[in-house]
Amino acid sequence: MKAHLRTVRLELAEPLRISRSTMTAREAVWLRVEHEGLSGHGEAVSSVYYGLDAETLVRLLGDVDLRRFADPERALEALRAGQLASEEADTPPAVTAAVESALLDLVGKRAGVPVHRLLGASEPPVAATARTIGITSPTRAAAEARRLAASGFEVVKVKAGTPDPEDDVERVRVIRDAAPRVRLLLDPNGAWSTAQAAALLPRFADLGVEAVEQPLAPGDPDALGALAERSPLPVIADEDAVSLDDARRLAGRVHGVNVKLAKCGGVHAALRIAESIEGSGTGLMLGCLTASTLGLAPAVQLADRARWTDLDGHLLLAHDPWRGIGGADGFVRASARPGLGVEEVTAHEDVA
Protein backbone atom coordinates (compact mmCIF):
# COMPACT_ATOMS: atom_id res chain seq x y z
CA MET A 1 0.00 0.00 0.00
CA LYS A 2 1.10 3.52 -0.76
CA ALA A 3 0.17 6.56 1.32
CA HIS A 4 0.01 10.18 0.15
CA LEU A 5 -0.51 13.33 2.21
CA ARG A 6 -1.91 16.72 1.23
CA THR A 7 -2.43 19.82 3.37
CA VAL A 8 -5.32 22.20 2.68
CA ARG A 9 -6.84 25.20 4.42
CA LEU A 10 -10.51 25.11 5.38
CA GLU A 11 -11.97 28.61 5.69
CA LEU A 12 -15.09 29.12 7.79
CA ALA A 13 -18.05 30.94 6.30
CA GLU A 14 -17.86 33.33 9.26
CA PRO A 15 -15.81 33.45 12.46
CA LEU A 16 -16.98 31.01 15.13
CA ARG A 17 -16.62 32.41 18.63
CA ILE A 18 -16.75 30.15 21.68
CA SER A 19 -15.89 30.89 25.30
CA ARG A 20 -12.15 30.31 24.92
CA SER A 21 -11.38 31.38 21.35
CA THR A 22 -12.55 32.59 17.94
CA MET A 23 -11.83 30.47 14.87
CA THR A 24 -11.78 31.60 11.24
CA ALA A 25 -10.07 28.64 9.56
CA ARG A 26 -8.49 25.24 10.12
CA GLU A 27 -5.68 23.36 8.40
CA ALA A 28 -6.56 19.86 7.27
CA VAL A 29 -4.25 17.03 6.26
CA TRP A 30 -5.72 14.50 3.86
CA LEU A 31 -4.44 10.94 3.79
CA ARG A 32 -4.90 8.84 0.67
CA VAL A 33 -4.04 5.14 0.83
CA GLU A 34 -3.76 3.27 -2.48
CA HIS A 35 -3.87 -0.47 -3.07
CA GLU A 36 -4.50 -2.40 -6.28
CA GLY A 37 -6.08 0.49 -8.12
CA LEU A 38 -8.38 1.70 -5.33
CA SER A 39 -7.98 4.57 -2.87
CA GLY A 40 -9.20 5.18 0.68
CA HIS A 41 -9.30 8.62 2.28
CA GLY A 42 -9.05 10.14 5.74
CA GLU A 43 -8.71 13.61 7.23
CA ALA A 44 -7.07 15.06 10.33
CA VAL A 45 -7.55 18.73 11.23
CA SER A 46 -5.37 21.06 13.24
CA SER A 47 -6.44 21.98 16.77
CA VAL A 48 -4.99 24.55 19.12
CA TYR A 49 -6.83 22.92 22.03
CA TYR A 50 -5.25 19.52 21.34
CA GLY A 51 -1.89 21.06 20.41
CA LEU A 52 -1.85 19.83 16.81
CA ASP A 53 -0.77 21.95 13.86
CA ALA A 54 -0.59 20.84 10.24
CA GLU A 55 3.17 20.26 10.33
CA THR A 56 2.84 17.94 13.32
CA LEU A 57 -0.03 16.06 11.70
CA VAL A 58 1.96 15.55 8.51
CA ARG A 59 4.92 14.23 10.47
CA LEU A 60 2.85 11.85 12.58
CA LEU A 61 0.79 10.57 9.67
CA GLY A 62 4.00 10.03 7.74
CA ASP A 63 5.34 7.93 10.61
CA VAL A 64 2.52 5.39 10.18
CA ASP A 65 4.06 2.75 7.92
CA LEU A 66 1.36 0.91 5.99
CA ARG A 67 3.77 -0.63 3.50
CA ARG A 68 4.51 -3.52 5.85
CA PHE A 69 0.94 -4.83 5.47
CA ALA A 70 -0.10 -6.98 2.54
CA ASP A 71 -3.52 -5.37 2.30
CA PRO A 72 -5.76 -2.81 4.05
CA GLU A 73 -7.75 -5.51 5.81
CA ARG A 74 -4.67 -6.65 7.73
CA ALA A 75 -3.67 -3.07 8.45
CA LEU A 76 -7.14 -2.38 9.86
CA GLU A 77 -6.92 -5.48 12.07
CA ALA A 78 -3.56 -4.28 13.36
CA LEU A 79 -4.98 -0.84 14.12
CA ARG A 80 -7.87 -2.35 16.06
CA ALA A 81 -5.42 -4.50 18.02
CA GLY A 82 -3.35 -1.46 18.93
CA GLN A 83 -0.42 -2.58 16.79
CA LEU A 84 -0.50 0.20 14.22
CA ALA A 85 -0.94 3.56 15.92
CA SER A 86 -3.77 3.67 18.42
CA GLU A 87 -1.78 2.51 21.44
CA GLU A 88 1.44 4.38 20.76
CA ALA A 89 1.89 7.05 23.38
CA ASP A 90 3.09 9.67 20.91
CA THR A 91 0.35 9.08 18.35
CA PRO A 92 -2.62 11.40 18.96
CA PRO A 93 -6.13 9.97 18.56
CA ALA A 94 -6.75 12.34 15.62
CA VAL A 95 -4.00 10.62 13.65
CA THR A 96 -5.30 7.16 14.48
CA ALA A 97 -8.80 8.23 13.44
CA ALA A 98 -7.59 9.55 10.07
CA VAL A 99 -5.66 6.35 9.32
CA GLU A 100 -8.63 4.22 10.32
CA SER A 101 -10.90 6.33 8.09
CA ALA A 102 -8.71 5.75 5.04
CA LEU A 103 -8.48 2.02 5.75
CA LEU A 104 -12.22 1.64 6.31
CA ASP A 105 -12.91 3.55 3.10
CA LEU A 106 -10.53 1.31 1.18
CA VAL A 107 -11.74 -1.94 2.75
CA GLY A 108 -15.34 -1.00 1.98
CA LYS A 109 -14.50 -0.23 -1.63
CA ARG A 110 -12.63 -3.52 -2.02
CA ALA A 111 -15.64 -5.41 -0.62
CA GLY A 112 -18.11 -3.33 -2.60
CA VAL A 113 -20.07 -2.36 0.53
CA PRO A 114 -20.54 0.88 2.48
CA VAL A 115 -18.68 1.32 5.77
CA HIS A 116 -21.87 1.24 7.84
CA ARG A 117 -22.42 -2.34 6.69
CA LEU A 118 -18.89 -3.24 7.75
CA LEU A 119 -19.93 -1.93 11.17
CA GLY A 120 -23.10 -4.02 11.33
CA ALA A 121 -25.82 -1.60 10.17
CA SER A 122 -28.01 -2.87 7.33
CA GLU A 123 -29.40 0.54 6.35
CA PRO A 124 -27.55 3.84 5.86
CA PRO A 125 -27.76 5.79 9.14
CA VAL A 126 -29.70 9.06 9.07
CA ALA A 127 -29.87 11.55 11.93
CA ALA A 128 -30.99 15.10 12.66
CA THR A 129 -27.83 17.03 13.38
CA ALA A 130 -27.46 20.04 15.63
CA ARG A 131 -26.29 23.25 13.98
CA THR A 132 -24.07 25.54 16.00
CA ILE A 133 -24.73 29.22 16.64
CA GLY A 134 -21.62 30.81 18.09
CA ILE A 135 -21.34 33.64 20.59
CA THR A 136 -22.78 36.58 18.69
CA SER A 137 -25.26 39.42 19.07
CA PRO A 138 -28.90 38.63 19.89
CA THR A 139 -29.99 40.09 16.55
CA ARG A 140 -27.65 37.85 14.54
CA ALA A 141 -28.47 34.84 16.69
CA ALA A 142 -32.20 35.27 16.16
CA ALA A 143 -31.81 35.71 12.41
CA GLU A 144 -29.62 32.60 12.18
CA ALA A 145 -32.10 30.56 14.22
CA ARG A 146 -34.96 31.57 11.93
CA ARG A 147 -32.90 30.67 8.86
CA LEU A 148 -31.94 27.27 10.26
CA ALA A 149 -35.50 26.41 11.26
CA ALA A 150 -36.73 27.37 7.80
CA SER A 151 -34.05 25.12 6.26
CA GLY A 152 -35.28 22.09 8.20
CA PHE A 153 -32.99 21.99 11.22
CA GLU A 154 -34.64 20.45 14.27
CA VAL A 155 -31.72 20.94 16.68
CA VAL A 156 -29.68 24.08 17.39
CA LYS A 157 -26.62 24.19 19.63
CA VAL A 158 -25.91 27.55 21.24
CA LYS A 159 -22.40 28.46 22.36
CA ALA A 160 -22.19 30.15 25.76
CA GLY A 161 -19.59 31.31 28.27
CA THR A 162 -19.40 35.08 27.82
CA PRO A 163 -17.96 37.19 30.66
CA ASP A 164 -21.50 38.32 31.52
CA PRO A 165 -23.76 35.23 31.72
CA GLU A 166 -26.77 37.45 31.12
CA ASP A 167 -25.58 37.74 27.53
CA ASP A 168 -25.89 33.97 27.20
CA VAL A 169 -29.37 33.97 28.71
CA GLU A 170 -30.50 36.68 26.32
CA ARG A 171 -29.04 34.87 23.31
CA VAL A 172 -30.87 31.68 24.19
CA ARG A 173 -34.09 33.59 24.84
CA VAL A 174 -34.12 35.29 21.42
CA ILE A 175 -33.22 32.01 19.69
CA ARG A 176 -36.09 30.28 21.45
CA ASP A 177 -38.46 33.08 20.41
CA ALA A 178 -37.20 33.01 16.81
CA ALA A 179 -37.38 29.22 16.46
CA PRO A 180 -39.85 27.94 19.04
CA ARG A 181 -40.01 24.37 17.70
CA VAL A 182 -36.29 23.54 17.55
CA ARG A 183 -34.57 21.49 20.21
CA LEU A 184 -31.89 23.53 21.98
CA LEU A 185 -28.52 22.37 23.25
CA LEU A 186 -26.14 24.63 25.18
CA ASP A 187 -22.33 24.53 25.21
CA PRO A 188 -20.28 26.82 27.48
CA ASN A 189 -17.06 24.87 26.70
CA GLY A 190 -16.18 24.65 30.39
CA ALA A 191 -16.53 28.38 31.09
CA TRP A 192 -18.61 28.30 34.29
CA SER A 193 -17.79 27.78 37.93
CA THR A 194 -19.86 25.33 39.92
CA ALA A 195 -21.75 28.20 41.54
CA GLN A 196 -22.47 29.84 38.18
CA ALA A 197 -23.71 26.57 36.69
CA ALA A 198 -25.98 25.90 39.66
CA ALA A 199 -27.53 29.37 39.30
CA LEU A 200 -27.80 29.36 35.49
CA LEU A 201 -29.00 25.86 34.64
CA PRO A 202 -32.52 26.31 36.07
CA ARG A 203 -32.90 29.47 33.99
CA PHE A 204 -31.86 27.68 30.82
CA ALA A 205 -34.15 24.78 31.67
CA ASP A 206 -37.02 27.26 31.88
CA LEU A 207 -36.11 28.45 28.38
CA GLY A 208 -36.47 24.91 27.07
CA VAL A 209 -32.81 23.95 26.71
CA GLU A 210 -32.67 20.17 26.33
CA ALA A 211 -29.12 19.51 27.57
CA VAL A 212 -25.86 21.29 28.39
CA GLU A 213 -22.36 20.23 27.35
CA GLN A 214 -19.38 20.59 29.68
CA PRO A 215 -20.60 23.50 31.82
CA LEU A 216 -17.56 23.24 34.14
CA ALA A 217 -13.86 23.54 33.37
CA PRO A 218 -12.44 20.11 32.51
CA GLY A 219 -10.20 18.31 34.96
CA ASP A 220 -12.64 17.58 37.78
CA PRO A 221 -15.06 14.87 36.62
CA ASP A 222 -16.26 14.38 40.19
CA ALA A 223 -17.51 17.97 40.24
CA LEU A 224 -19.20 17.46 36.88
CA GLY A 225 -20.88 14.30 38.15
CA ALA A 226 -22.05 16.07 41.30
CA LEU A 227 -23.50 18.91 39.21
CA ALA A 228 -25.27 16.45 36.93
CA GLU A 229 -26.88 14.76 39.93
CA ARG A 230 -28.73 17.93 40.89
CA SER A 231 -29.06 19.60 37.49
CA PRO A 232 -32.58 20.36 36.17
CA LEU A 233 -31.44 19.42 32.66
CA PRO A 234 -29.12 16.71 31.31
CA VAL A 235 -25.36 17.32 31.59
CA ILE A 236 -23.12 15.97 28.82
CA ALA A 237 -19.37 15.57 29.35
CA ASP A 238 -17.17 16.69 26.46
CA GLU A 239 -13.67 17.89 27.37
CA ASP A 240 -13.80 15.58 30.41
CA ALA A 241 -14.71 12.59 28.22
CA VAL A 242 -11.78 11.92 25.93
CA SER A 243 -10.82 8.28 26.33
CA LEU A 244 -12.51 4.98 27.04
CA ASP A 245 -11.33 5.19 30.65
CA ASP A 246 -12.89 8.66 30.95
CA ALA A 247 -16.21 7.35 29.67
CA ARG A 248 -16.15 4.42 32.06
CA ARG A 249 -15.50 6.73 35.01
CA LEU A 250 -18.38 8.99 34.00
CA ALA A 251 -20.89 6.27 33.08
CA GLY A 252 -23.97 6.60 35.24
CA ARG A 253 -22.74 9.89 36.71
CA VAL A 254 -23.54 12.23 33.82
CA HIS A 255 -26.40 12.09 31.36
CA GLY A 256 -24.24 11.89 28.25
CA VAL A 257 -20.70 11.78 26.86
CA ASN A 258 -19.73 13.60 23.70
CA VAL A 259 -17.67 11.24 21.54
CA LYS A 260 -15.57 12.86 18.82
CA LEU A 261 -13.54 10.51 16.66
CA ALA A 262 -10.61 12.94 16.63
CA LYS A 263 -10.33 12.85 20.41
CA CYS A 264 -11.07 9.16 21.09
CA GLY A 265 -9.19 7.57 18.17
CA GLY A 266 -11.76 6.70 15.54
CA VAL A 267 -14.84 4.62 14.80
CA HIS A 268 -13.90 1.47 16.68
CA ALA A 269 -12.77 3.45 19.71
CA ALA A 270 -16.15 5.21 19.63
CA LEU A 271 -17.95 1.86 19.46
CA ARG A 272 -16.03 0.65 22.52
CA ILE A 273 -17.10 3.78 24.40
CA ALA A 274 -20.71 3.28 23.33
CA GLU A 275 -20.58 -0.30 24.56
CA SER A 276 -19.02 0.75 27.87
CA ILE A 277 -21.82 3.20 28.73
CA GLU A 278 -24.70 1.08 27.48
CA GLY A 279 -27.29 0.49 30.19
CA SER A 280 -25.67 2.98 32.57
CA GLY A 281 -28.15 5.79 32.00
CA THR A 282 -25.48 7.79 30.20
CA GLY A 283 -26.34 8.49 26.57
CA LEU A 284 -24.07 8.83 23.56
CA MET A 285 -23.56 12.14 21.81
CA LEU A 286 -21.65 12.18 18.53
CA GLY A 287 -19.71 15.40 18.07
CA CYS A 288 -17.05 16.72 15.74
CA LEU A 289 -14.42 19.32 15.11
CA THR A 290 -14.83 21.81 12.30
CA ALA A 291 -13.75 19.72 9.31
CA SER A 292 -14.76 18.80 5.78
CA THR A 293 -17.28 16.16 4.76
CA LEU A 294 -14.36 13.74 4.53
CA GLY A 295 -13.51 14.33 8.19
CA LEU A 296 -17.10 13.84 9.34
CA ALA A 297 -18.03 10.88 7.13
CA PRO A 298 -16.73 8.16 9.51
CA ALA A 299 -18.83 9.54 12.40
CA VAL A 300 -21.94 9.63 10.21
CA GLN A 301 -21.63 5.85 9.90
CA LEU A 302 -22.55 5.72 13.61
CA ALA A 303 -25.24 8.41 13.61
CA ASP A 304 -28.11 6.01 14.29
CA ARG A 305 -26.52 4.93 17.58
CA ALA A 306 -26.49 8.36 19.27
CA ARG A 307 -29.03 10.11 21.46
CA TRP A 308 -27.65 13.48 20.34
CA THR A 309 -25.95 14.10 17.00
CA ASP A 310 -23.78 17.18 16.47
CA LEU A 311 -22.11 16.61 13.10
CA ASP A 312 -22.20 20.04 11.50
CA GLY A 313 -18.49 20.86 11.17
CA HIS A 314 -18.64 20.74 7.37
CA LEU A 315 -21.63 23.09 7.36
CA LEU A 316 -19.56 25.83 9.00
CA LEU A 317 -17.16 26.03 6.05
CA ALA A 318 -17.22 28.65 3.33
CA HIS A 319 -16.59 25.84 0.83
CA ASP A 320 -16.64 22.14 1.58
CA PRO A 321 -14.16 20.38 -0.75
CA TRP A 322 -15.91 17.01 -0.29
CA ARG A 323 -19.51 15.86 -0.56
CA GLY A 324 -21.61 12.85 0.28
CA ILE A 325 -23.16 13.16 3.78
CA GLY A 326 -25.70 15.95 3.27
CA GLY A 327 -26.62 18.12 6.23
CA ALA A 328 -27.86 21.33 4.63
CA ASP A 329 -31.46 20.32 5.38
CA GLY A 330 -30.68 19.45 9.00
CA PHE A 331 -30.03 15.74 8.45
CA VAL A 332 -26.76 13.90 7.88
CA ARG A 333 -26.93 10.66 5.93
CA ALA A 334 -24.50 7.86 5.32
CA SER A 335 -24.21 6.84 1.68
CA ALA A 336 -25.13 3.46 0.21
CA ARG A 337 -22.03 3.66 -2.00
CA PRO A 338 -18.99 1.48 -1.23
CA GLY A 339 -16.58 2.79 1.39
CA LEU A 340 -17.33 6.10 3.07
CA GLY A 341 -19.38 7.17 0.05
CA VAL A 342 -17.78 10.60 -0.25
CA GLU A 343 -15.99 12.23 -3.14
CA GLU A 344 -13.78 15.25 -3.61
CA VAL A 345 -15.35 18.13 -5.47
CA THR A 346 -13.25 19.04 -8.50
CA ALA A 347 -11.99 22.57 -8.99
CA HIS A 348 -14.54 23.50 -11.68
CA GLU A 349 -17.54 22.33 -9.63
CA ASP A 350 -19.63 24.46 -7.27
CA VAL A 351 -18.62 23.43 -3.76
CA ALA A 352 -21.09 25.66 -1.91
Residues 21-37: what's their mean pLDDT? Answer: 97
Instruction: Render pLDDT for 32-71 as a digit per residue (tens, 0 to 9).
Output: 999 999 999 999 999 999 999 999 999 999 999 999 999 9
Q: How far apart are CA 284 and CA 241, in angstroms?
A: 11
Q: Count of CB atoms within 10 A of residue 207's CB?
A: 16
The C-alpha angle 87, 269, 16, rounded to 5 degrees, equals 105
The rounded percent of the chain whose pLDDT value lies above 70 is 97
Tell me, what's the pLDDT at 280?
Answer: 97
Between these two residues, 123 and 352, which has the higher pLDDT value?
123
Instruction: Render pLDDT for 180-221 as a digit per residue (tens, 0 to 9).
Output: 999 999 999 999 999 999 999 999 999 999 999 999 999 999
Pairing between β-strand 155-159 and β-strand 130-133 as defined by DSSP bridges: parallel
pTM: 0.94
Instruction: Render pLDDT for 319-345 as a digit per residue (tens, 0 to 9).
Output: 999 999 999 999 999 999 999 999 999
Instruction: Render pLDDT for 240-280 as a digit per residue (tens, 0 to 9).
Output: 999 999 999 999 999 999 999 999 999 999 999 999 999 99
